[in-house]
A and B are shown apart, each in its own frame.
Chain A
Amino acid sequence: AQSVTQPDIHITVSEGASLELRCNYSYGATPYLFWYVQSPGQGLQLLLKYFSGDTLVQGIKGFEAEFKRSQSSFNLRKPSVHWSDAAEYFCAVGGANDYKLSFGAGTTVTVRA
């Protein structure tokens, strides 16, 4: 069975500081990994995805994520957070022959001035 764990329910970070959100996955084959962001009252927007190749992937809004197979992790990072980054972030896993994404419970990010 596939699953995603996001250990941090809520993170507060100062504007301009760095941000790292953790994601651990369980998947029986080669995983496809995704990070989505959801602003209040909005749908989910894809930040970045990893299918294969370079394990450090760049996404929109200055985000990046690193795939570490040995740790079953796909952590999301941003060097300098902006107030507009306050949102909920979801990690998701699927597979090449899969039709279903499994999402983590999400991490809420609060940005303080």
Chain B
Amino acid sequence: EAGVVQSPRYKIIEKKQPVAFWCNPISGHNTLYWYLQNLGQGPELLIRYENEEAVDDSQLPKDRFSAERLKGVDSTLKIQPAELGDSAVYLCASSPGGKTGELFFGEGSRLTVL
């Protein structure tokens, strides 16, 4: 069974440029999460989807961050414009059910903003 796939693995951009990250969850997993992981920190939830609906985006900085999950499968997280403080790892995770359970994580997308 394929795991959670994320791309790109690494991205280096200059500040004020846009960037997008893509996630393909495990087949059949209705719940998809985007987490932010700063260096030396644990993951922090940005947004959670149940199918195509964003049911918790309270931690997403909506002035520059956006996300979508068209057709309830793949998801894209976008930052526009990027700031220096956005340098971090962006983790995508999926789970088969909505309630707390095991999350399956992708390898992450490491963003460096210069």
Interface residues in chain A, defined as those with a beta carbon under 8 Å from any beta carbon in chain B: 4, 9, 32, 34, 36, 41-46, 49, 90, 92, 94-101, 103-106
Q: How many residues of B contact A (CB 8 A)?
A: 24
| Interface bits B1-21 vs A (CB < 8 Å: 1, else 0) | 000100000000000000000
B103 touches A99 (CB 8 A): no
Measured between beta carbons, the chain B residues less than 8 angstroms from A45 are 105
24 A–B contact pairs at CB < 8 A? A32-B101, A34-B102, A41-B107, A42-B107, A43-B4, A43-B91, A44-B91, A44-B93, A44-B103, A45-B105, A46-B104, A90-B43, A94-B100, A98-B100, A99-B31, A99-B98, A99-B99, A99-B100, A103-B44, A105-B41, A105-B42, A106-B40, A106-B41, A106-B42
Given known pairs A43-B4, A43-B106, A99-B100, the reply for A104 and B45 (CB within 8 Å) is: no
Min CB gap A109→B, angstroms: 14
Query: Secondary structure at chain B's binding surface: helix, strand, loop or mixed?
Result: loop
Q: Does B48 contact A (CB under 8 A)?
A: yes
B42 touches A99 (CB 8 A): no
Min CB gap A39→B, angstroms: 10
A43 touches B99 (CB 8 A): no
B43 touches A96 (CB 8 A): no
A99 touches B105 (CB 8 A): no
Min CB gap B51→A, angstroms: 14
Measured between beta carbons, the chain B residues less than 8 angstroms from A34 are 102
A43 touches B108 (CB 8 A): yes
